[in-house]
Chain A
Amino acid sequence: MTAPGRDPVPAPAAKSAQFSSTRRQFLRGLGLVGAASVCPPLTTAATANPANAKPSHPDLEEYGRDPQPVILQINGQTHTVSVAPRDTLLDVLRHQLNLTGTKSICEHGACGGCSVLWDGRAVPTCLCLAREAAGHEILTVEGIADDPRFAPLIEAFCAHDAAQCGFCIPGFVVRAAELFLQGERMSTEEVQIALSGNLCRCGTHAKIVTAVTAALSAGAIA
C-alpha cells in the first residue's frame, strides 16, 4: 500500500492554491449575497475617518491581514511559511506545504477528515488558524506513514480492508494514531466512541473499528 492519503500526482503548490482560492471565493460570494440582503452592511468610524484607524496600542500593530513568516514544526521538520492571519492550518498544509494527505472535506469540523496530531492530540485543521500552530508539534498523516512506530496501525487498516473509496481514511488514521500513542487497549465499543468524530460516507465504519481495535490490542507502541 502506498502511504495513506497521499495524492499520486502532487499538484504544484501555487497552482492548487490559486484554483482553490477562486472556487472558494465564488462559493462564499454566493453565500454572502444571500446574507447581505438581510443584514445591513457594517459601517465603522474607522473607515469614515481613516485617521482614527491608527493603532491605539503598540500591540495592535499585530492586527493585519498581510502574510507574515511563521515557523511551523511539521512531521519533525521546521518549515518557515508565509501565513496570513486568517489562513487555516488546513490551507497552509495543503496549498503551501503540499501535504495533501490532510483532506478538506466538510470544512465544518464535523467529519474529522482534516485531522492532524497537534502536540499528540487530533484536531480538525479546518477550524485552526495556522498562526496558532507556531510552537506546537504537528504530525500529519504523511508523518505517521513515514514513522515506523505506526506501521502496525497502517498494516491493520490494510489487513482489515478498512478503506472503500479511502477519502476519509487519513483522518481516521490520524485519530487512531492518537489512540495508538496512548497505548491503551480498548473494547470495540470504546473504539467506536473514540472514533465518533470521524465520518465515512461509504459506510466502512465497521471495518475501520475492527482494524483499530486489532491494532490497539496487538500491543502498545514500542
Chain B
Amino acid sequence: MRAPQTFEEVDVFFPDTLDAALIAQADPNRRGRVLAGGTDLMVQWEAGVVPLPPRVISIKHLPVLRQIEENPGMLIIGAGVTHKQLRASPLVRQYLPSLAEAAATIGGEQIQVMGTIGGSVANASPAGDLAPSLMVAEGDVVLASVRGERRVPVTACWTGYRQIDCAPDELIVRFELTKMPAGYCEGWRKLGPRQAQAISKIMGSFRGQLTDGIITDFKVAVGSVAPTCIRLYELEQWLVGKPCDAATCNEAETRARAGVHPIDDIRSTAAYRQWVTGRMIRSFLQTLEVK
C-alpha cells in the first residue's frame, strides 16, 4: 500500500471510550497513529517532514484522560491533560512546581491549551520541555492495552532519540508522579532564542533538599544535550553531603560540563550547551540555597 499523499486519504477514528481505542490499537489492521493535541503531529504532517499514516486515532477528547488527581504520595495526571491545565492546577503547582513552570514556557497560550503531557512524552523529543521535571519527580508512565496495564519508570521511558518504550498496541493513559516532599524545593530553567514560542536550546529541572547548609538530596535532569533527556546521576551522588557553598558550586559546574556530551544542531552548538549546563547547575544550587 502506498502511503497517503494528502490528508484527504487518511482515515480518522474518534473513539467514544478508551476501551474502543484500545481495541482498535490491538488489531494491526485497524491500528492508528495516536493523535492528542496535534501540536507536533499536525505540524509534521502539514510540513511533509514525516509520511502521513494511513490511519489516525484521535484521543484527546476522552474525559478519562484529562483528570488530575492525588493520593498521599503521588499526583496522578491523565495523558490528555494540557499544558494550560498543568500550569494552572493548584495540585501541580504545589507538588510538582517545576512541571507547572515548564508547562508555562511551552509555545504561546494557544499552544498550551492544545498540547498534552502524554503527547509531549510520546513525541519523545530530546527538547521536550516537560521531560526534565518528570525525570526529577520520578514515578511511572502507565500504558494501557487490551492485555492490561504496564508501568514504566519515567526515568527509563525514553529508549533513544525520539523513541519511547511503548508497544504498538499501547496507549499512554496517565502519569503517577512522586509529590515533592515537605522541605524540598524545585527549579526550572530554559534557554531559547526568545521567551515565548521557542524550542529550547537547553533546559533543565532539579528537585533538592538542603538541611543546615548541607545538600541532603539532589536530583537534576537536563534536556537537549543528549538523544534523550538525561539525569546527571554521578553529579547528584557527588553533591549529596556537600555544603552548598561557593567551592561546591564551582566544582559542580565543572563536573556538570564534563558529564554531558551535546551536539551541534540547528538550534545551538555543543560548546554552548556544555557551558550552559554548568551555569544551570550553579543556578540550581543557588536557588536551593535561597529557598
Contacts and interface: CB of A to CB of B under 8 A. Distances in A.
Interface of A: 21, 24-25, 27-32, 34-36, 39, 41-48, 52-53, 55-57, 59-60, 62-65, 84-86, 88, 107-110, 112, 115, 118, 121-124, 126-129, 131-132, 175, 193-194, 196-199
B10 interface: yes
A124 B114 contact: yes
Given A46-B1, A109-B111, A197-B110, A34 B197 contact: no
B27 A56 contact: yes
Given A35-B48, A42-B53, A193 B196 contact: yes
B38 A127 contact: yes
Interface in B92-140: 107-114
Contact of A199 (B2, B16, B61, B197): B197
A216 to B, nearest CB: 15
A84 B8 contact: yes
Interface residues of B, number: 55
A170 B277 CA distance: 41
Contacts of A175: 109-110
Nearest to B114: A127
Interface of B: 1-3, 5-17, 20, 23-24, 27-30, 32, 35, 37-39, 42-43, 46-56, 58, 60-61, 107-114, 195-197
Contacts of A27: 48
Nearest to B7: A86
Contacts of B42: 88, 109, 126-127
Nearest to B27: A56
Contact of A44 (B17, B29, B50, B107): B29
B10 A124 contact: no
Contact of B8 (A36, A65, A124): A65
Given A44-B1, A44-B54, A132-B60, A112 B110 contact: yes
Contacts of B46: 28, 107-108, 126
Given A109-B110, A122-B109, A31 B48 contact: yes
A28 B46 CA distance: 7
Given A52-B29, A59-B23, A109 B114 contact: yes
5 contacts: A32-B48, A65-B11, A85-B12, A109-B39, A128-B38
Contacts of B14: 62, 85, 131-132
